[in-house]
Amino acid sequence: MAQTVIIERTGGPEVMTLVDREVGSPGPGEVRIAHAACGLNFIDVYQRSGLYPLDLPHALGMEAAGIIEAVGDGVTHLKVGDRAAYAATPAGAYAEARVMPAAQVCPLPEGISLDEAAAMMLKGMTVEYLFHRTHPVARGDTVLFHAAAGGVGLIACQWARSEGITLIGTAGTDEKCALALEHGAAHCINYRTEDWPARVQELTNRAGVDVVMDSVGADTFEGSLDSLKPLGMMISFGNASGPVPPFNLAVLAQKGSLKITRPTLFAHTGDRETCQEMARHLFEKVVAGEVKIRIDQRFALSDVRAAHEALEARKTTGSTILTL
């Protein structure tokens, strides 16, 4: 049996409950993993609220790290006793242990703790695909990155610095802006006190940025388009402020033949080899010290409601983990 956070209906943090669930043994292509910690992400909120529907009842959580306890037939890249981590479907990481498909579970190298791994898999592989797969960003390019002091944002700031990319961040307080700058952002704009699209134009000598990476959604969408240079790429990869409403595609032509995409991590990691390659790239960055994983909040699994409340209130910085 393993304590597991589930929802039986969608709604606020109060719909999450902690129950004992049978774990079972892995079948072909599966592993059983005992978790040391699991990560907290906005996708968990989207699933809990019903924005991203799940078949109910369902466990929550998309990333975790721990020790492999059992291996099913056909699994060759993991063995019992291995330290491992993942960001993968189906949801169910908010648990002491689980059985899950092995293809997206990644062996963890020495030099990365289980807490760090639980805090970085979904966020770090998101940054990997944003910079290298959705629209490859080259040395000398300029990127506008919203929520630059969050878990994904602080990794993105460091990733950009390590590759010679100018990152302009936005954040909601001066303290968060300072944090983004400390982690490698070239500039950071407090969107509560500044006209951030105008400031972006000022910082780029009115040229605009090559790419916008926007996980905020509705609140920043129009300003993000206004921040791009002609032929620029808008990457909308989240909805922290709500989903982007329908808009007229002709706007993209009017603003300079802009491009737009709405990617997800799991479209990239669905292929086992691609997933493992992305994880290795992330691990290399962390082991080399080019990216440091900042864990600013720790909650016990039993305090998951408080963790969700803090995340939704934008009271968190860096990464947040649930400990077991």
The pLDDT tens digits for 248-294 are: 999 999 999 999 999 999 999 999 999 999 999 999 999 999 999 99
* CATH number where 42 lies: 3.90.180.10
* CATH number where 218 lies: 3.40.50.720
Q: Are residues 9 and 65 in the same domain?
A: yes
Whether 269 is in a domain gets the answer no
Name the domain count of the chain: 2
- Whole-Å CA distances, 109 to 99, 106, 161, 279: 22, 9, 23, 10
Q: Are residues 113 and 205 in the same domain?
A: no
Mark which of 212, 230, 262 sits at the end of a domain. Answer: 262
Whole-angstrom Cα distance, residue 55 to residue 41?
Answer: 19
Whole-angstrom Cα distance, residue 299 to residue 308?
Answer: 10
pLDDT in tens, 89-138: 999 999 999 999 999 999 999 999 999 999 999 999 999 999 999 988 99
Single-letter amino acid, residue 134:
T
* pLDDT of 318: 84
Domain of residue 161: give its range.
139-262
Bridging pattern class, strands 295-300 and 16-21: unpaired
- The dihedral formed by the CA atoms of 145, 151, 157 and 158, expressed in degrees to the nearest 10: -160
Q: Are residues 177 and 108 in the same domain?
A: no
Q: Are residues 147 and 240 in the same domain?
A: yes
Q: Return the structure tokens found at 92.
A: 């169910």
